[in-house]
Amino acid sequence: MASRKQILGVMLFSGLMLMMNVAGAVESITLMALFKDKAILVVDGARRVLKSGEESPEGVKLLSTDTQEEKAVIEIGGKSETLKLGVVIAQFTAKGRNSVTLYPDSRNHFFTEGWINGVAVRFLVDTGASSVAMGSDTAKRVGLDYKNQGLRGYSNTAAGVVPSYRIKLDKVQVGEIAIYNVDGGVTESMDSGDVLLGMSFLGRLDMRQDDGKLELHER
Residues 109, 68 within the same domain: no
Residues 166 and 103 in one domain: yes
**Distance between CA atoms of residues 17 and 13, nearest Å:** 6
Same domain, 83 and 104: no
pLDDT of residue 16: 34
Q: Strand, coil or helix: what is 48? A: strand
User: Residue 117: its pLDDT value, please?
Assistant: 93
pLDDT in tens, 152-172: 998 776 667 888 999 999 999
pLDDT of amino acid 188: 82
My answer on whether 84 and 24 are in the same domain is yes
With the C-alpha atoms ordered 43, 83, 67, 153, is the resulting torsion angle positive or negative? Answer: positive
Task: Provide the CATH number for the domain around residue 178.
Answer: 2.40.70.10
Question: What's residue 4's pLDDT?
Answer: 52
- Boundary residue ending a domain (92, 115, 146): 92
pLDDT for the residue numbered 198: 95
Are the C-beta atoms of 43 and 90 separated by less than 8 Å? no
Q: What does the radius of gyration of the chain's CA atoms come to, in whole angstroms?
A: 21
Instruction: Assess whether 76 and 108 both reside in one domain.
Output: no
Q: What is the CATH number of the domain that holds 38?
A: 2.40.50
Same-domain check for residues 124 and 196: yes
One domain for residues 83 and 107? no
Contact of 93 with 77, CB cutoff 8 Å: yes
151: containing domain: 99-218
pTM to 2 decimal places: 0.58
Collect the ranges in the chain with pLDDT lower than 50: 1, 5-24
